[in-house]
Structure formats: structure tokens, C-alpha cells
């Protein structure tokens, strides 16, 4: 638990320096005690579980694709923040057999009052809509209810709203929706109907908590008509799209990089060289933000610390400490003034 809190604090600090603003809305909807199943839309790869896990004091476990655990260092870090490997057919394994133990583990966690975060779309995609939901989260909810007769399981839908899922120093609104009673939809004699009913209501709630563009024919034109900040206000923006409201904010060109960004970039030339080498290797758009953030919480602080030792060698410890403080301050100002 101590390691979890240390890693959580470090990641939360990194997110504070990576995003211009993170707003948390509806946190009062989260029950103070008892098991909770959190369900969220999934646009931004590993950034999604990280921003949710650090946005509340609730200790939660989350399901992540098993392929992310292949690297030993990544596996240790993921385990430290309570990630649970979930297997897919595309991973080249007998996913059904392996996931039986995963579902059993989830039931056990919930039965012991723990909370779980799951992304029921089953995969990430940068598209601005909630895609069809997989039945895995209903299996977890109903297995828990079957094992704990007379109990209820609260499901909290979460809308993750990035005004830009790729670029650094952007804003994010995390919206916690009203609690959903899983027991209300559970009929132990008709699991198929229960599954369909719960999927339907959760999909509806998630679609209300994030910008939902379900018009494939006009998707690109609708996207281009929206300003970045329109993606932070899903209720207002969804109503505008539904009513074809001409008052939707027109797209605005992003502001040019300010002097603090260039100073920060000059002071961080080696990490930026790493990113220049790494960027072409990141093929999926959904992983760009994750790659940037991972580099930001590893290469940047390591480089600043090494530079501080150099400064200390030539000018003394006072100036080394001053340099270190200024380096992180430049990152902070660059992020918050973009």
C-alpha cells in the first residue's frame, strides 16, 4: 500500500506538470465506502487509468491488456498501481481460460470491499464517441451479486474529456456520473437479458458524460467545427450537435508556443532529442500522449538531476539546487501558460 501511494503521488505530480488543467466534476457521486465498479470511456491509452486513479482518494484496481506487462519494468510499475492483466484473443493466448481467473480475482476484490476500474469498450480509440460495450464488466458485476446475495454493487460511470488527446499542456475534465445500481438489472434466471439491459444503460450514461458524435457521415466536418474547449463540456456540446446549433464555437488555431516553452526546451535538449527519436516509432495516435508522459516522468527529471551534479561540480551545491528548482519551475510555467 505504501508503494502504491508513493507511485500514485509521483504520477499525480507528473500529471499536474503535463496537463494545463485537470478538473474533477461530480466526485460527490462516489460512495464513501463499499465496493465500487468504475466504468469509463477509453480514448487515450494508459493516460486514462492514470488520470482516473489519481483523481480520487479511492484506492482502485484496474484492468489492463496483458501485452502491457511483457516488459519487466513496466510490469512492476503496473503491479505497483494495482493493474490486473486481462487477456485478449489477439494476444495469442487462450484468453477465455486465462480470464476465468481474472474474473474470479475481481469478484474476490469486490467481495472484500475493493473498487475496480474497467474500460468496457475493450480497447482505446481516439474517436469522439462511446463505442459498443463489451460484456466483461457485466460479468464482473453479476458474478459479485451472485456470490453476495442481498447485496448491491454500485457502478459509477466516468466521462474522460480531453480537449486534445495528443498534445502536451492541454486540459482535461473528469466527470463522475450518478451511481447505477447493478442489482436493479440483475436477474439470476436470465443473465442474457440482464447483460443487455445493463450494457444499454451504462452506454447511455457514458454517452452523456463525454462528447458523442455518432454521425459517421459528417464526423469530420463536426469535429472541425468544434473548438478544443468544446470537448470539455459534453452536455452543452452534445446538445449543440443534436440540434445542429450554429452557435458551436468555431475551431481556433492553437496558440503559438510561448517563451517559457522554448526556455524549457533549451534546458531539456537531451530529453527532446529522445522524443524526436521515439516519436516516429509511436504508430498509434492513442499512444502519443502516453509516450510523452512516460518520457516526461523519467528522462526529464533524470536529466535535470544529472545536470545539477555538473553544476555542483563547477559552481557548488547552492547553484546546483537553484538550477534544479528553476528547471522544474520552467516546466510548470510552460505548462500552465500554454
Higher pLDDT, 1 or 300: 300
Higher pLDDT, 71 or 42: 42
Average pLDDT over every residue of 89-114: 84
Predicted confidence band of residue 209 (pLDDT cuts 50, 70, 90) = very high
pLDDT of residue 105: 93
Q: Hey, how many other C-beta atoms are within 10 angstroms of the C-beta on 311?
A: 18
Beta bridge partners of 180: 155
pLDDT at 318 > cutoff 80? yes
pLDDT of residue 71: 78
State how far the Cα of 275 lies from the Cα of 296, in Å rounded to an integer: 10
Backbone torsions φ then ψ of 193, nearest 5 degrees: -65, -40
pLDDT at 326 > cutoff 90? yes
Beta bridge partners of 21: 171
Average pLDDT over every residue of 17-46: 95
pLDDT of residue 14: 97
Smallest CA-to-CA distance from 210 within 41, 61, 82 is with 41
Percent of the chain whose pLDDT exceeds 70: 93
Q: How far is CA 260 from CA 68, 265, 322, in A?
A: 35, 8, 17
pLDDT at 199 > cutoff 80? yes
Predicted confidence band of residue 65 (pLDDT cuts 50, 70, 90) = confident
Average pLDDT over every residue of 122-127: 90
Lowest mean pLDDT among 61-75, 190-204, 222-236: 61-75
Lowest mean pLDDT among 89-93, 166-170, 270-274, 326-330: 89-93
State how far the Cα of 271 lies from the Cα of 279, in Å rounded to an integer: 12
Average pLDDT over every residue of 106-113: 96
List the Cα angle 28/161/300 in 5-degree steps: 105
Predicted confidence (pLDDT) per residue in 245-257, tens digit: 545 444 444 555 6
- pTM score: 0.91
Average pLDDT over every residue of 329-337: 96
For 142-239, where are the E strands, in sequence order?
Answer: 154-162, 171-176, 180-181
pLDDT of residue 94: 65
By CB neighbour count within 10 A (0-12 exposed, 13-18 middle, 19+ buried), where does 335 fall? Answer: buried
Strands 21-25 and 36-40: unpaired
Q: Would you kindly state where each structural domain of the chain is located, as residue ranges?
A: 2-210, 259-336
Predicted confidence (pLDDT) per residue in 150-166, tens digit: 999 999 999 999 999 99
pLDDT at 129 > cutoff 70? yes
Lowest mean pLDDT among 21-35, 78-92, 107-121, 129-143: 78-92
Beta bridge partners of 156: 38
Superfamily of domain 2-210: Glycerol-3-phosphate (1)-acyltransferase (3.40.1130.10)
Average pLDDT over every residue of 233-241: 92
pLDDT of residue 246: 44
Q: Mean pLDDT across the chain, nearest whole number?
A: 91
* Element of type H or E holding 79: helix 72-80
Predicted confidence band of residue 327 (pLDDT cuts 50, 70, 90) = very high
Q: Hey, how many other C-beta atoms are within 10 angstroms of the C-beta on 202?
A: 24
Amino acid at each position: 500500500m505504501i508503494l502504491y501511494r508513493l507511485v500514485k503521488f509521483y504520477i499525480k505530480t507528473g500529471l499536474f506538470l503535463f496537463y494545463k488543467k485537470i478538473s474533477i466534476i461530480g466526485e460527490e457521486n462516489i460512495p464513501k465506502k463499499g465496493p465500487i465498479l468504475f466504468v469509463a470511456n477509453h480514448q487515450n491509452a494508459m493516460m486514462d487509468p492514470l488520470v482516473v486513479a489519481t483523481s480520487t482518494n479511492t484506492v482502485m484496481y484496474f484492468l489492463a491488456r496483458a501485452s502491457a506487462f511483457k516488459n519487466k519494468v513496466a510490469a512492476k510499475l503496473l503491479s505497483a498501481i494495482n493493474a490486473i492483466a486481462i487477456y485478449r484473443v489477439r494476444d495469442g493466448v487462450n484468453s477465455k481460460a486465462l480470464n476465468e481467473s481474472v474474473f474470479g480475482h475481481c469478484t474476490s476484490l469486490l467481495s472484500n470491499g475493493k473498487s475496480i476500474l474497467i474500460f468496457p469498450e475493450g480497447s482505446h480509440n481516439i474517436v469522439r464517441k462511446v463505442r459498443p460495450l463489451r460484456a466483461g464488466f457485466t460479468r464482473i458485476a453479476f458474478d459479485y451479486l451472485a456470490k453476495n446475495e442481498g447485496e448491491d454493487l454500485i457502478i459509477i460511470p466516468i466521462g474522460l474529456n480531453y480537449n486534445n488527446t495528443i498534445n502536451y499542456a492541454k486540459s482535461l475534465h473528469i466527470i463522475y456520473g450518478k451511481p447505477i445500481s447493478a442489482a436493479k438489472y440483475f436477474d439470476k434466471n436470465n443473465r442474457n437479458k440482464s447483460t443487455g439491459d445493463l450494457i444499454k444503460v451504462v452506454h447511455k450514461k457514458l454517452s452523456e458524460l463525454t462528447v458523442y458524435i455518432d454521425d459517421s457521415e459528417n464526423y469530420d466536418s463536426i469535429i472541425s467545427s468544434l473548438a478544443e474547449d468544446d470537448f470539455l463540456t459534453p452536455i452543452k456540446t452534445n446538445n449543440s450537435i443534436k440540434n445542429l446549433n450554429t452557435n458551436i464555437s468555431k475551431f481556433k488555431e492553437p496558440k503559438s508556443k510561448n517563451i517559457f516553452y522554448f526556455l524549457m526546451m533549451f534546458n531539456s535538449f537531451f530529453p527532446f532529442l529522445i522524443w524526436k527519436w521515439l516519436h516516429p516509432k509511436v504508430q498509434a495516435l492513442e499512444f502519443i500522449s502516453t509516450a510523452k508522459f512516460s518520457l516526461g516522468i523519467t528522462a526529464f527529471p533524470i536529466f535535470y538531476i544529472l545536470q545539477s551534479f555538473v553544476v555542483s561540480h563547477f559552481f557548488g551545491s547552492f547553484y546546483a539546487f537553484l538550477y534544479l528548482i528553476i528547471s522544474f519551475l520552467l516546466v510548470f510555467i510552460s505548462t500552465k501558460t500554454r
